[in-house]
Amino acid sequence: MIIPGATASSATGISYNPEGLLRPNAVVQFTVYRRGRRPFTLRFTTAGVDSPTATPMLHTLGPPEPFPTPAPPPTPTPTP
């Protein structure tokens, strides 16, 4: 079954926003196909009928925070 919604991607991640609510306790498999690359598949089960509202997951893809930067080169010492 295809679930209509909006998909967005960038160099650091993928997001999907379904147009409607998903069934309680439903197994969902979300696959993104990218030209020239392996598909990315995410599988999860939705919460039950009486479950609390889900908390959004933190951003887990991409470089670590803060991104390490190289040390500046040493300043040359002038000779007299």
pLDDT band at 1 (very low <50, low <70, confident <90, very high): low
Return all residues near 61 (Cβ < 8 A) that are at least 6 apart: 12, 13, 14
- Got the DSSP string for 15-79? EEEESSPPPTT-EEEEEE--TTS--EEEEEE---TTPPPPPPPPP-SSS-SSPP-PPPPPPPPPP
> What integer pLDDT is reported at residue 60 of this predicted model?
58
What are the CA-CA distances from residue 64 to residues 58, 68, 69 (Å)? 13, 8, 12
8: confidence class by pLDDT, cuts 50, 70, 90: confident
